[in-house]
Structure 1
Amino acid sequence: MKNYILLFRGINVGGKNLLPMKELVPLLTKYNFQGVSSYIQSGNVVLKCTSQPDALVRSIVLDNFGFTVKLFSLEQAEFTAIQEANPYKIFEGKFVHCYFCNDNIELNQAKVDKYLASSESYTVIGKVFYLHAPEGIGRSKLVANIEVCLSQPATGRNLNTINKISTMLTKLA
């Protein structure tokens, strides 16, 4: 069995794509996923299973909640490597964000240059866009246009959430 991290995108926002974690966790357990736990309603789940869980989880959500979920999954080793590679981990967690993609990132550099604030800095490593936004992401034009800049769908998590997920993984061992 392998440990997986599931990062849901675009759920429980503005009354759309409602996916209550309190309902999802026991449902995933019913389908033989082990050690299932979640963190906050934005959709962070850790679990154990024998094979890549994406297709089954998407099917479970569609059958039980009535919509097709956007999902990013990582094996524990990949998640740990992403966490360790973060060049901004020394900064306060709420100002550091990781944007996860399914494919290696090929930046639309013209868009990044257009939207990047002078206080923001970023690094791309493989499928992850690391962002340090010391003024927060609420008004960040880069964040508001992140998928155009990354040329693909993405889901973001701040460093505090990344660290919490890492703690949850230690309980799966």
Structure 2
Amino acid sequence: MKTYIALFRGINVGGKHILPMPALVAIFESLGLGDVKTYIQSGNAVFRCQAENVGSLSARIVAEINKRHGFEPQLLLLELAELEKVVLANPFPDAEAQPNTLHLNFLLFAPVNPNLPALDAIKKDSERFSLIDQVFYLHAPEGIGRSKLAAQAEKRLGVAMTSRNWRTVCKLMEFAKKMRLPNTANQ
């Protein structure tokens, strides 16, 4: 069995695409996915299943959500090893001490022609960013609410993305690591 991390984009945000976490767990379980654990209400889940094509698995999950709730969220599935690689690649380890200021923006696919100079031109002096593979790391010590860089990143990269702060990423990795071995799944 493999452990997967599910990152949904845009559910339970702004009163749109409401999907309570117990309903999400029920959907996962109805598809034969096991040891499902969610984290906060914004669409994070960790689960186990037999090895399967990630694209096919993602499509099945999204189709079932659409069938039951009438919308098709964007979904990015990562294996535990992929998430571990993303965490190890963090170019701003000094920012980990303030986990709500470090954001990992997971891109749905690799950008073809990202406009990094445009992002560099609008960032605040206190902000830092780095694009590594399909993750746009953003350290925004003053927060992302008023950050032009955060607001423009998706447009300038040309790829849809879903963002998680460092605390959330670490918590999901912790859940996934506990699931790695069947005898630790519920500890």
Global fold match (TM > 0.5): yes
Partner of 1:70: 74
Partner of 1:87: 91
Q: Calculate percent identity across the aligned residue pairs.
A: 40
Residue from 159, 164, 167 that aligns with 1:157: 164
Q: Which moved more, 1:31-40 or 1:85-94?
A: 85-94
Unaligned runs of 5+ in 1: none
Give the conservation status (yes or no) of the 8 Å contact 2:80–2:177. no
Q: Which structure 1 residue ranges, 4+ long, deviate > 3 Å from structure 2? A: none
Q: Deviation of residue 111 (structure 1)? A: 2.6
Q: Give the TM-score, by structure 1 length.
A: 0.95
Partner of 1:34: 34
Distance 1:151 1:63 in 2: 29
Residue from 96, 100, 119 that aligns with 2:102: 96
Q: Give the TM-score, by structure 2 length.
A: 0.88
**Matched letter for residue 163 of structure 2:** G
Unaligned runs of 5+ in 2: 181-187
Aligned residues: 173
Give the conservation status (yes or no) of the 8 Å contact 1:38–1:44. yes
Distance 1:4 1:14 in 2: 27
Distance 2:58 2:92 in 1: 29
Give the conservation status (yes or no) of the 8 Å contact 2:103–2:139. yes
Give the conservation status (yes or no) of the 8 Å contact 1:37–1:45. yes
**Matched letter for residue 78 of structure 1:** E
Root-mean-square deviation (CA, aligned residues, Å) is: 1.2
Residue from 130, 134, 139 that aligns with 1:132: 139
Partner of 2:154: 147
Q: Which moved more, 1:24-33 or 1:75-84?
A: 24-33
Q: Deviation of residue 109 (structure 1)? A: 2.5
Distance 1:18 1:46 in 2: 19
